[in-house]
Amino acid sequence: MGLIQWSETHPYKASALSGLVLAFCHPFVSPGHSGPPHLPIVGALLALVAFVPYLAALEAAQKKRTIIVSTYLCFGLQLGVSVYWLDVAIHRYGGLPHIVSVLAISAIALITGTYLALAVLSGCWAAKRMKCSRALVLPFFWLVGDAIRGAWIYGYPLSGFPWAHVSATQAENPWLRPLLSLGGIELLALWVFAFNLVALRTVQGRFNRRQIVLNLTILVGVPALWSGAWHHHVNQAMTQAKTHQFGLIQGNLSQDLKNDLRNRGRYMLNVQRRLSAELAAQQPDAIIWSEVTYPFALNRDAPRLGARQLGYGPGAPPPKLSLVGAMVGWEQSEGTCQANDDCNRGESCRQGLCRNYLIHNSLVALDRDLQMLGRADKYHLVPFGEYVPGRSVLGLLGIDKLVPVAGRMRPAETIQPIETPLGKIGGLICYEGVFPVASLRLVEQGASLLVNPTNDTWYGATSGPWQHLEFYRMRALETGRPILRVANSGISGWFDPLGRAYDLTALNEESATIVNVNRAVVDTPYVRLGGAPSWFILAVAPFLLIFARLRRRDPEATDKP
């Protein structure tokens, strides 16, 4: 029995096979292994044919249930296996049993998989009305479902987790990934689907040798030509660009320590100050602390940070620019009261008013005199990590007790770069770099450098830090901007506009590193068009639905597939 016949006969097994193969196509390391990822190029190439069993099963499926379950299996296994590292955050740092981790990961896969299942079902309906192959329209509907489940909407619990996007399988592929500069993640993912479709038709025997050669020439030749031309263009820009020295502090502060609010302050500050003094003595242009490694909350509008607090002193003067990851706070009053019970959870009654101390997760920029130049606040908060979506309901179940800052953390009011002596710098705090729109908005406002302070300690020695790292390689390619990454426990370093990595540090090690960053700025077609190529690809599915709907009204149209 051939692969196609087996997939048509056993659609669930075929879809599960595709999902499992795709899971290992994303940057993957075995639990307890610090990396780098195992055979990333092999995984990237394998992704070009991984969808074949699923596509074959879907084309033959006759029942809606088969289509839905097959999609859940393909997407769910891909996501669930590739993000196994969530167990570290839930079990190791959350103190919950492993079974809770399994249930939580399964729930994420099922909930977010619903978007994919509904999108694919809509695609099958449209293909039936238009009398065309499901495999031809499926990629456009899959990408729409992926875009919806990856969109972040504050307070909405069923989105904002864009991990395991099809494009992420090609982050380590130097031949295909330059397509990101042309059309973003949607174009790169569409190219992966195109390879899978050609492979499917070849195995089905629908293409003769000439058609196979023609298709592969296009699929291989176009990226190769663009990659060569774009490399030449960017390399020329880099030879003429300035270089700045940045000091990156990787304190490797354990999450257990950071969670210990009583004892963390002095230890954290001592580690950060010591490493900062080492770097300041070498007089770099800037020094960067990773996410919330200054252990005390600062006043939002007038943060007071002295030289001694930051490790500066005789022989180690402050640089032109200091970027410090910290919490900034302010007090807000809401309504009148007579007792704490009259106020919302987390608020206290003082002087007849309900008061709450609110906070931002921020990157504070200081000049040589340690005066604030500006601040980047985190906009994309982590659901169930920095706030509880639907807190009014889930709070009754005690979920908000797992999130210490529930009710206090607020997203940024605006997304904008910071004016500094080294140019406009855009802050992508924590996992904000997984959202292409965030970096695009910063670049459109003039950011010439993107900086990602993050704390990946939550992931442990797993695939998590490496998967997170690769998102920033992709953002550098999309925006044509260098991206600096400062991670509390690693992996720190930087990417140039071609997505090439430099000065990557080891995972779970303390380091204080000076890196020479080429400040080349290259406006990509993706940036010049304001991300329009991605929106155009996503618009295809709605257009097909409208077209199919109009065709259904045609009295000559039939319901036969």
What is the chain's mean pLDDT, rounded?
Answer: 89
Nearest to 17 by CA among 44, 45, 56: 56
Q: Which is higher by pLDDT, 373 or 405?
A: 373
Distance, CA of 127 to CA of 25 (rounded, Å): 29
Under the banding of pLDDT at 50, 70 and 90, the label for residue 89 is confident
Query: Which residue in the block uniquely carries the two structure tokens 């140039």?
Result: 496
Lowest mean pLDDT, pick from 117-131, 165-179, 365-379, 395-409: 395-409
Please indicate whether residue 156 or residue 282 has the higher confidence score (pLDDT): 282
Quick one: pLDDT at residue 409? Answer: 78
- CB of 426 closer than 8 Å to CB of 449: yes
Task: Output DSSP code: residue 386.
Answer: T
**Range of lowest pLDDT (293-302, 497-506, 516-525):** 293-302
Give the count of beta carbons closer than 10 Å to the beta carbon of residue 557: 14
Rounded CA gap, 322 and 228, in Å? 37
Q: Comparing C-alpha atoms, which of 357, 361, 403, 364 is closest to residue 378?
A: 361
Q: pLDDT digit string (tens) for 302-316?
A: 888 999 999 999 999
What domains are defined for the chain?
A: 3-237+531-553 (no CATH), 243-527 (3.60.110.10)
Burial of 514 (0-12, 13-18, 19+ CB in 10 A): middle
Q: Is residue 170 within 8 Å of 44, Cβ to Cβ?
A: yes
Least confident of 173-182, 297-306, 318-327, 393-402: 393-402
